[in-house]
Amino acid sequence: MNEPMIHTSHGNLPVASLQYETRWEDAPDYIKFVEVYRLDGEVVRESAHVYAKRGLLCEPVVQQIGGG
């Protein structure tokens, strides 16, 4: 089976050779999960997945048309 690779400034490297970190951020409006891959302290890939706790809010806009 092929080992997953990741492109870095040092060429393509096996994902298993990198340091993998995760963190969670729980804010009032969203939850964010961040994944970071590092090579000797250098970030080579970072991705974030965000879940909105609330839907988008919409406000009606009232405008007078014509008149004269």
Phi-psi region of 23 (alpha: psi -120 to 50; beta: other; left: phi over 0): beta
| CA gap 5, 13 in Å, rounded | 5
> What is the per-residue pLDDT for 59?
65
CA distance between the termini of the chain = 76
pLDDT of residue 7: 83
| Per-residue pLDDT, 63 | 64
pLDDT at 68 over 90: no
**What is the DSSP-derived secondary structure letter of residue 17?**
G
CA distance 39 to 11: 11
In angstroms, the CA 6 to CA 66 distance is 60
Q: What is the pLDDT of residues 5-63, one digit of tens each?
A: 988 878 889 999 999 999 999 999 899 999 999 998 989 889 999 998 877 666 666 66
